[in-house]
Structure 1
Amino acid sequence: MTATASPPVLDLQGVSKAYPGPPPVTALHPTHLRVETGDFLAVVGPSGSGKSTLLNLMGLLDRPTHGTYRLSGTDVATLTERDRAALRGRRVGFVFQAFHLLPHRTALENVALARLYVTARGEHRQADAARALGRVGLGHRLDALPGRLSGGERQRVAIARAVVSAPDILLCDEPTGNLDSVTAGTVMDLLAELNQAGVTIVVITHDPAVAQRARRQVTMLDGRLSEPAPGGRSAGGRQ
């Protein structure tokens, strides 16, 4: 009996995004992209290239104008907004350049809040959050407020919050943008460790040094996605 292969975590087929005018603006031209379980992908490009539009579509924060998007095999176009939000909460973890931590909540509380609508019992949320913080090397800082943490530690809390629910994919939007080069390196080390442990990661960045830490790179320019083919040739938008 042959085992059925798992679907890609992300599968974009001809996905595009346009905004009405006048004049109308195409933020993302028809794009084909597959991200398999265990991938570590960097999407690199300058500001205004379409990276944020792509991230918003992948993270179910926006809907495409055309094309088909399947998240872990689910065609998201068929879902209501409520179902999309529920799928996003279960399947997608986000890490942003701005850490988005609640300043008057401890590290443990910030991470536990991500489990609020998934785990009913408070003690389970606390235990899950403590484990996630231990996973990112902050098991000794559970009771620290964000103002008492360094920039790198705050980003680690944000990463713990993103992975606490074991999402199918971690979407990172300029995760080192507010950090110095040394601290940025430690954050990328952490992401590499998580990827080696099986976490599927997509990093959006304008920094080639950050992109080089990923195992696969694609480039965004003027709303068009390209990936080097074997031998260094561009594969266009097709993955």
Structure 2
Amino acid sequence: MTAEAAPAIAPPPVIALRGVGRTHPGRPPVTALHPTDLTVHRGEYLAVTGPSGSGKSTLLHLLGLLDTPTTGRYELDGIDTGSLRDRERSTLRGRRIGFVFQSFHLLPHRTAEENVLLAQVYNRTPRRTRRAAALEALRLVGLGHRTDALPGTMSGGERQRVAIARALVNRPSLLLCDEPTGNLDSANADAVLARFDALHAQGFTLLVITHDPTVAARAERRVTIRDGRLTTPEEV
């Protein structure tokens, strides 16, 4: 008699917010984010849109473990982040989240490969595996032929793709992007968004925060934040 196979256990969501809010103390207190629920599953591509001052930056800081909520519970890969000490939060952030910002933040006198390598140094990746991982990350963003290039010799789109490779090199659970095309012309912006499409097709989880509807339209799911309140398109 053959034993039945145990049913597969679904992995936890990459992001699970349950009543997460952020209020800044003062007289009166200022609520930057009202209690919010949000679930992002592995492999999803989500855009968060909203005007300036809507709460996008507050949400980014909470999701990126750069700030802590005043209410609610945030689980990243099933880990209750509210139960962690500061050092544990920093370690979790370095291992599970890759950041891509509007500004590229590349070291100008370091090659593309060296800029990506440095992300592994800070994450204490074993030295013997760093170069291969950096080259693979650059290949993923279509820059396998530009590994020795300095940032000053690259287009804006190429520099942003180096920044994306740097964010990917530690194989994070979440790629968290803040206005990633804000410093790019339309041609370079489209090239970066095409790279996001490709990464999504390969199973990466992306969350893009943007005020640009063209950028948001590339995502498979969109939510809007206004006055610190998160809504789906159906609720707007």
Q: Shorter chain as normaliser: what TM range?
A: over 0.9
1:134 corresponds to which residue?
Answer: 139
Query: Do structure 1's residue 35 and structure 2's residue 48 form an aligned pair?
Result: no
Deviations 1:42-84 (A, max 9, x none): 0001111101110110010110011000000000000011000
Letter in 1 for 2:44: D
- The alignment yields a C-alpha RMSD, in angstroms, of 1.0
Report the TM-score when normalising by structure 1: 0.94
* Pair 1:87 & 2:92 matched: yes
Between the aligned partners of 2:185 and 2:176, the Cα distance in structure 1 is 21
SS of residue in 2 equivalent to 1:214: coil
| 2:3 match | none
Return the match for 1:68 from 73, 88, 98.
73
Q: Which of 111, 118, 129 is 2:124 aligned to?
A: 118
Aligned residue runs from structure 1 range 126-205, under 5 A? 126-205=131-210
Equivalent residue in structure 1 for 2:216, among 197, 211, 218:
211
For residues 119 and 91 of structure 1, the distance between their equivalents in structure 2, rounded to whole angstroms, comes to 13
User: How far apart are 1:3 and its partner, in Å?
Assistant: 1.9
Q: Give the secondary structure class of the aligned counterpart of 1:43.
A: strand
2:22 is paired with a residue whose SS is: strand
Matched residues, percent identical?
Answer: 62
User: Which contiguous aligned blocks of 4+ residues in structure 1 show a shift greater than 2 angstroms?
Assistant: none
Residue 128 of structure 1 and its aligned partner are, at CA, apart by 0.9
Distance between the aligned counterparts of 1:84 and 1:63, measured in 2?
10
Q: Distance in 1 between matches of 2:31 and 2:108?
A: 38
Query: 1:22 Cα shift?
Result: 2.6
Q: Deviations over 1:73-104 (max 9, x none)?
A: 00000001100010111100000000011111
Partner of 1:2: 7
Distance 1:118 1:184 in 2: 32
Q: Which amino acid aligns with 1:206?
A: H
| TM-score normalized by the length of structure 2 | 0.95
CA distance in 1, matches of 2:133, 2:13: 27
Return 5+ residue gaps in structure 1 as ranges.
Answer: none
SS in 2 for 1:18: strand
- 1:24 aligned residue: 29
SS at match of 1:33: strand
The question of 1:221 aligning with 2:226 is answered yes
Task: Give the AA of the match of 2:225.
Answer: M
Partners of 2:124 and 2:203 lie apart in 1 by 22
